[in-house]
Amino acid sequence: MKIALHTSKFKAWKQLVAVACFGLFTSMSAHADDPVAGATLFTANCATSGCHQTATPLTSNASKIFNARNARSWIQSNINSNNSGMGRLSSMTAQQVANVAAYLGNSPSSLTFASTNVGVTAATQTVTVKAALVNGPALSALTVSASGDFARSGGTCGTTLATGPTGCTVIVSFTPTAAGTRTGTLSISHSGTLTPIAIALSGTGAGAPTPAPVASITPTSLTLASTAIGNTSAAQSVTVSNTGTAALSLSAITLSNTADYLISGGTCAAGGSVAAAGSCTISVAFRPAAGATGARNGTLSITHNAAGSPGSVTLTGTATAAPAPVAALAPVSLSYGSLNVGTAASAQTVTLTNSGNAALTLGTLSISSGTEFSISGGTCTAGGTVAAAASCTISVGFTPSAAGARSANLVVTHNAAGGQSTTSLSGTGVALTPVIGVSPTTLSFTQTVSTTSTAQTVTVSNSGTGPLTLSALTLTGTAAADYTRGGTCTPSTVVAAGANCTVTFTFTPGAVGARNASLAITHNAAGSPSSITLNGTGTAAPTPAISLNATTRTFTSQVVATTSASQSVTVSNSGTAPLTFSALTLTGTASGDFTRGGTCTPTTVLAAAGTCTVTFTFTPGAVGARSASLTLTSDASNGAASISLSGTGTAAPAPAVLLLPGSLAFGNQTDSVTSTARSITLQNTGSAALNIASITATSGYAVTHNCGASLAAAASCQLSVTFTPAGLGAAPGSVSVASNAAGSPHSVTLTGTGVAASPVLAWVGSTTTQAFGNLTVGSAATTQTLSLINNGPGAVTLSGFTLAGANLADYSVSGGTCSLGPLAQGASCTLTLSFAPGAVGARSATLQVTSTGTNPPDVALTGTGTAPAQPAATLSSTALSFTAVTGAAAADQTLTLQSSGNATLNVTGLRIASGNFTLAPAATNGCSATPFDLLPGQSCAMSIGWSSSANGTETGTVEIDTSASVSPVQVAIQATRADPVVTPTPTPVTSNSGGGGCSIARGNTLLDPTLWLLALAAAGVLWYRRVRR
């Protein structure tokens, strides 16, 4: 890198770098030539070929151009003679050459400052530093220093400098410390070449100047806080500084607007002085005059003996209105409605709010007229105050002294505008009169003949203002004798205003059917007499009935002498009277295999609509089908009930041993040399854990294994067998497994022959495992290839390629070049293995090679069968149950179907297969009309209803056809309807005083059509109940 400098004060130029790949230069800030244009020209004409074609472009011409001190003719001659490749610039004009020279760098050899008084700093001069680098890294380690009375006093240069024409600046100052010529050096060093650059600095120190003050006033303007008229703002300060060399005299400090502003303090004083380099302060506050509004301006003037006197500070402030209270009562009116004469209303509250910005002073709190309205409390007090933005309350009561409209005003006097605030008060006095109320006006009873019902109550109330006098209570009607009256209401009762009395009735029907009457109450209120309608129905004595939610219970296969999980049957009393059991009897050829439990016992009594449960467990005493039945004997009107029980006894689980392969042939093996290991799979094919006592091999053979002390049902483990001949010739042997399985011990036959020397077979790549990865069950088989080599000595005869292990059927030897027969020493062949999983999960086997030589190690084959995508259907319930009482509808039930597989579920049918039931889409997420599809995880809902209205138990089935493996899916339905338990309850009807209702409620005529309809309905019910019996 190169560096060059220029200043605005120096006119002679020194060329530091001519045509160079990079450099640093300085320039005058007011140069006539254009270094930016020069950078563009230099980049376009020189930088593309590394500036010059010589190896050291700067060596030959840098010093010449440096000494030439910006002699452009010298630069031009180098261009003309193509000195160091500068002929590349030959097409440029003289001005363009000057621009390139300005870009590449011209630096002053010195800076000279004007004569300056001792101790005074001269005007600064600026040097611009630029990097002439076209394509390259930025300059680093940039440092600038000045010596003597000269100093660097600013500029933008840091420790690095980027390439290009922009550059950075160094500001140089001169402060002579003595008279005469003063010299120094500005030194600029950097990470490039030609460093450091030194610029000579010179200036002259003149004699000391005449001392003089210099005044500085800060700030020159003040904005004071907005202030209410009559208040004074916080003060703000003005600082007067003397930056001169003599004392600053202050002859006057004045304000142009003394009405709104005041000098509130400070250290400056008129007639005082400020020493050189000293300062003082003036504090100014804003106090707007009365009547002033908005912006208020002024000027602070300071007269002194320095240049520029007087100095001034602009003052600005905003005057706001003086604080005042603002009073308001809310609400502006109160209404107490209608009240009985002499009755006090609940007090109501009026709030007095001061929304102003000054305290509100209260005078008096009064009612404008009369004594019916009164101030009864609150937080407002006469002579008190309410702070700005605060409030207080006044409680006002009302007690009318006469009938009719009553009114007055609440008056509060205060010091706010208007002097007082008011709230109008109103209410109405009501004369004393009784008003009767009867509730309910109709009572309904249903009761067994000759038995007495529980009492029902009618309330007689007085909602008027005067006493209610009862003079007579009279029972009438064809069945009046069936009712008995009681209660606190009597023919002489007087009911005070707001009070009540009661009339009670019990019903003892004398016959089956409708039994009606009415009670007339004579009184002194309007609408006398008032009537109470009594509707009663006599019913025959109730009877019990038994029903079961299931009549069979089937148990899954159970091991003999072990007990199953329990199953239950719910027993219900669907009759109208308590159901009493007398016996629960188990019978049948295998009754001893079933154990009864639950809450139903021979002494149980079930209330009408009550339930109990019978539970069963199954402990088979023998293998095979086992059955029994339970008979429930009771006083039910429909006789005894029975439950059929069935189950199957199975034998106890036991382990079983399977060893694969059943024999191992090691072939020829060099005497006293251990063969490669061969594998045997031990599998527990039984239904219980296999306990292994020992695994041993006969002499000449050794066995190791990964089997534990116990092997779970369907699990397997591996045995590894080696052959070490103890001499020449055949060496038969075996591996034995002793266990708790039948037929123990189990063995595998071992054969091998000891020979003097035997060819050795090996897998190319020393393969001992072959992994086939994941493959979908049922898809085409995948293949892999193994290479087998005969390492000698001599030829070997291949006698077998055998698959063994738990899943050997999933693997096959499907091809390759290996065949049964001889394989020469050094020769190799291939075996192609296929994998087609027969089930989901890990699948393993072992490849074994037999020969006349030393066999290669067994190869462990592994793969995983993955399940194909299958749809599946799941229902929210496998059984639905409806329960309803006679004459009432059963609520619909919701059944949700979900696609729980990993493939789309095709739904082709939704139907009720049997029973009086209905199926429709549910209101939310309803199933579409078939056929439709559900993606995995999706669901839809069906609404199942019971359409029958008959009493009894009914069953049915919902069937759903889908593409799942199990189709159709069935949901069992059971519905039961029975007579309700009768509990008399009053039925409110409209009072005769209010009008409406049917004529039967008033009993005006025997030709009333409603009466006849009710009679016919009662006759129908009696006939139906008789038929049911």
For residue range 700-743, list pLDDT tens digits in order: 999 999 999 999 999 999 999 999 999 889 999 999 999 999 99
Q: Residue range 228-252: average pLDDT? A: 91
540 pLDDT band, cuts 50/70/90, is confident
Q: Flag whether pLDDT at 27 surpasses 70.
A: no
Q: Flag whether pLDDT at 952 surpasses 90.
A: no
Chosen CATH of 215-320 out of 3.40.50.1400, 3.40.50.150, 3.40.30.10, 2.60.40.10: 2.60.40.10
Q: What is the pLDDT of residues 154-173, one digit of tens each?
A: 888 888 877 665 678 888 88
Q: Report whether 250 contacts 240 (CB < 8 A).
A: yes
Share of the chain above pLDDT 70, in %: 83
Helices (H), 22-163: 35-45, 62-68, 72-80, 94-104
22 pLDDT band, cuts 50/70/90, is very low
866 three-class SS:
strand
CATH fold for the domain made of 759-867? Immunoglobulin-like (2.60.40)
Enter the tokens of residue 30: 């007011």
Q: How far apart are CA 753 and CA 747, in angstroms?
A: 20
Q: Flag whether pLDDT at 372 surpasses 80.
A: yes
More confidently predicted of 631 and 687: 631
pLDDT of residue 208: 65
Candidate from 490-499, 828-837, 951-960, 986-995 with smallest mean pLDDT:
986-995
Q: Residue range 100-129: average pLDDT? A: 75
Greatest Cα pair distance, the chain, in angstroms, is 150
Closest by Cα among 470, 457, 455, 465 to 530: 470
Residue type, 867: A
pLDDT of residue 14: 28
Q: How far apart are CA 473 and CA 493, in angstroms?
A: 11
Chosen CATH of 4-206 out of 2.60.40.10, 2.40.128.690, 3.10.20.600, 3.30.420.40: 2.60.40.10
Q: How far apart are CA 468 and CA 438, in angstroms?
A: 13
Q: How far apart are CA 511 and CA 540, in angstroms?
A: 9
Chosen CATH of 546-650 out of 3.40.1360.10, 3.40.50.970, 1.10.3720.10, 2.60.40.10: 2.60.40.10
Q: Residue range 42-59: average pLDDT? A: 42
Residues 6+ apart with CB under 8 A from 46: 19, 52, 88, 89, 134
Continuous segment of H or E residues that includes residue 921: strand 917-921
Q: Flag whether pLDDT at 60 surpasses 80.
A: no
Q: What is the pLDDT of residues 461-510, one digit of tens each?
A: 999 888 999 999 999 999 999 999 999 999 999 999 999 999 999 999 99
**Common-topology check for domains 759-867 and 873-978:** yes
12 pLDDT band, cuts 50/70/90, is very low
Q: How far apart are CA 495 and CA 488, in angstroms?
A: 10
CA angle 344, 345, 348 (to 5 degrees): 135
Continuous segment of H or E residues that includes residue 1026: helix 1009-1028
DSSP string of 797-858?
EEEEEEEESTTGGGEEEEE-S--SEEE-TT-EEEEEEEE--SSSEEEEEEEEEEESSBPPPP
Q: Flag whether pLDDT at 289 surpasses 80.
A: yes
Q: How far apart are CA 356 and CA 299, in angstroms?
A: 34
Residues in the chain: 1029
Q: Flag whether pLDDT at 606 surpasses 90.
A: yes
pLDDT of residue 84: 53
Closest by Cα among 885, 881, 895, 892 to 974: 881
Q: How far apart are CA 777 and CA 841, in angstroms?
A: 10
Q: Flag whether pLDDT at 1018 surpasses 80.
A: no
Q: Residue range 86-111: average pLDDT? A: 66
Which CATH superfamily does the domain covering 327-430 fall into? Immunoglobulins (2.60.40.10)
Closest by Cα among 422, 425, 432, 368 to 402: 432
Continuous segment of H or E residues that includes residue 173: strand 164-174
Beta-bridge partners for 182 = 203
Query: How much is the mean pLDDT over the chain?
Result: 84
Domain spanning 654-758, CATH class = mainly beta
Q: Flag whether pLDDT at 6 surpasses 60.
A: no
Q: Report whether 273 contacts 248 (CB < 8 A).
A: yes
pLDDT of residue 670: 87
pLDDT of residue 21: 29
Q: How far apart are CA 375 and CA 366, in angstroms?
A: 7
Residue 708, CA distances (Å) to 31, 691, 695, 737, 748 in order: 97, 9, 11, 12, 19
By the 10 Å C-beta count (0-12 exposed, 13-18 middle, 19+ buried), 239 is classed as middle
Residues 6+ apart with CB under 8 A from 728: 671, 754, 755, 756
Phi and psi angles of residue 126, each rounded to the nearest 5 degrees, phi first? -115, 135
CATH number of 873-978: 2.60.40.10
Q: How far apart are CA 911 and CA 95, in angstroms?
A: 102
Q: Report whether 409 contacts 332 (CB < 8 A).
A: no
Residues 6+ apart with CB under 8 A from 582: 602, 633, 634, 635
Q: Report whether 130 contacts 27 (CB < 8 A).
A: yes
**CATH 3.30.70.270, domain 437-541+998-1014, yes or no:** no
278 pLDDT band, cuts 50/70/90, is very high
CA angle 752, 741, 862 (to 5 degrees): 60
83 pLDDT band, cuts 50/70/90, is low
Q: What is the pLDDT of residues 179-196, one digit of tens each?
A: 889 998 888 887 766 677
Q: Report whether 3 contacts 16 (CB < 8 A).
A: yes
pLDDT of residue 87: 66
31 pLDDT band, cuts 50/70/90, is very low
Phi and psi angles of residue 72, each rounded to the nearest 5 degrees, phi first? -65, -30
Residue type, 880: L
110 pLDDT band, cuts 50/70/90, is confident
| Radius of gyration of the chain, Cα coordinates, nearest whole angstrom | 59
pLDDT of residue 101: 65
94 three-class SS:
helix
Q: Residue range 757-786: average pLDDT? A: 91
Check residue 167 and give left, alpha or beta (phi > 0: left; psi -120 to 50: alpha): left
Q: How far apart are CA 607 and CA 545, in angstroms?
A: 11
Q: How far apart are CA 763 and CA 17, in angstroms?
A: 75
Phi and psi angles of residue 905, each rounded to the nearest 5 degrees, phi first? -95, 120
Q: Residue range 335-358: average pLDDT? A: 91
Beta-bridge partners for 789 = 762, 828
Domain boundaries, the chain: 4-206, 215-320, 327-430, 437-541+998-1014, 546-650, 654-758, 759-867, 873-978
**pTM greater than 0.85 (yes/no):** no
3-state secondary structure 224-262: CCCEECCCCCCCEEEEEEECCCCCEEEEEEEECCCCCEE
915 pLDDT band, cuts 50/70/90, is confident
pLDDT of residue 197: 77
Q: Report whether 367 contacts 409 (CB < 8 A).
A: yes
Q: Residue range 1-26: average pLDDT? A: 34
Query: In the 8-state DSSP scheme, what is residue 492?
Result: T
Share of the chain above pLDDT 90, in %: 56
Locus of tokens 């009735």: 505
965 three-class SS:
coil
